[in-house]
A and B are shown apart, each in its own frame.
Chain A
Amino acid sequence: MSATAPAFTAGDYKTDLKPVWCAGCGDFGVLTAVYRAMAELQWNPWETVVVSGIGCSSRLPGYVATYGFNGIHGRALTIATGVKVSRPELHVVAVGGDGDGLAIGGNHFLHSCRRNLDVTYVLMDNEIYGLTKGQAAPTTPSGDKTKSTYYGNPEPSFDPCELALSVGATWVGRAFSGDVKGTVDLMAKAFAHKGFAFLNVMSPCVTWRGDDQFKAFKAKARPIPETHDRTSRAAALAFTRETDIMSCGILYEVKVPSLIDRLTEMKERARAKQTKEPTTDDIVRSFLPKL
Chain B
Amino acid sequence: MPSSELTLGIVGSGGDGVITVGDIVSQAAAFEGLNVIKTEAYGPQIRGGESSCNVRIAVKHIEAQADRVDVLVVFNWADYGRFKGEMVPGDDAIILYEASDPTPPPEGIAPKAQRIAVPYVQIATDAAGTKAAKNIVTLGILAGLFNVPVDAMRAAISKKFSGKKAGLLEANVKGFEAGIAFAKTLGTIGDAKRLEYTKGAPKVILSGNEACAIAAVHAGCRFFAGYPITPSSEVLHFLSEWLPRVGGSVVQTEDELSAIGAVVGASFAGVKSMTSTSGPGLSLMTETLGLSAMAEVPAVVGNVQRGRPSTGLPTKTEQSDLFQGVFAGHGDQPRVVLSAEDVETCFHATVDAFNIAEEYQIPVIVLADQAIAQRRETVSPETFKHAVIDRRVPKPEEMAPYQRYKDTADGVSPMSYPGIKGAIYQTNGLEHDENGRPGSMHLLHEKMSAKRYRKLRPIRDKYHDFYRMGPEKADLGILCWGSSKGPVKEAVEAANAAGAKVAAFAPKVLYPFPKAQFLDFQHSVKRILVIEISFAAQFYKYIRTFMDLPEEKVKIFARSGGKNLTVPEVAEQIRKALSQMSHEEVLI
Contacts and interface: CB of A to CB of B under 8 A. Distances in A.
A70 B430 contact: yes
A62 B428 contact: yes
A270 B205 CA distance: 24
Contact of A62 (B205, B264, B426): B426
Interface in A262-291: 263, 266-267, 269-271, 274, 277-278, 280-281, 283-285, 287-291
Interface in B230-268: 241-242, 244-247, 249, 251, 253-255, 257-268
A132 B483 CA distance: 46
Contact of B210 (A17, A274, A287): A287
Interface string B7-28: 0000000000000000000011
A53 B218 CA distance: 33
A contact residues, range: 35 or more
A62 B242 CA distance: 37
A66 interface: yes
Contacts of B257: 74-75, 78, 107-108
B269 A90 contact: yes
Given A62-B426, A289-B27, A284 B261 contact: no
Given A86-B222, A287-B204, A281 B159 contact: no
A150 interface: no
B271 interface: yes
A7 B246 CA distance: 37
Contacts of B253: 78, 81, 111
Contacts of B254: 107-108, 110-111
Interface stretch (B62-70, B88-96, B413-421): B413-421
B246 A278 contact: yes
Given A64-B426, A278-B242, A291-B31, A83 B269 contact: yes
A17 B245 contact: no
A79 B28 contact: no
Contacts of A211: none
A107 B429 CA distance: 21
A71 B429 CA distance: 6
B31 A289 contact: yes
B115 interface: no
B418 A67 contact: yes
Contact of A69 (B28, B160, B265, B420): B265
A284 B262 contact: no
A287 B206 contact: yes
A68 interface: yes
Contact of B418 (A80, A90, A111, A284): A90
Q: Which of B214, B267, B418, B420 gathers most chain A CB within 10 Å?
A: B418
B516 to A, nearest CB: 33
Nearest to A65: B424
Contact of B152 (A64, A74, A83, A289): A289
A48 B269 CA distance: 10
Interface of B: 27-28, 30-31, 152, 155-156, 159-160, 202-206, 210, 214, 217-218, 222-223, 225, 241-242, 244-247, 249, 251, 253-255, 257-271, 273, 287-288, 290-291, 295, 381, 384-385, 417-421, 424-430, 437-438
Interface of A: 1, 15, 17, 44-51, 61-62, 64-72, 74-75, 77-87, 90, 107-108, 110-111, 263, 266-267, 269-271, 274, 277-278, 280-281, 283-285, 287-291
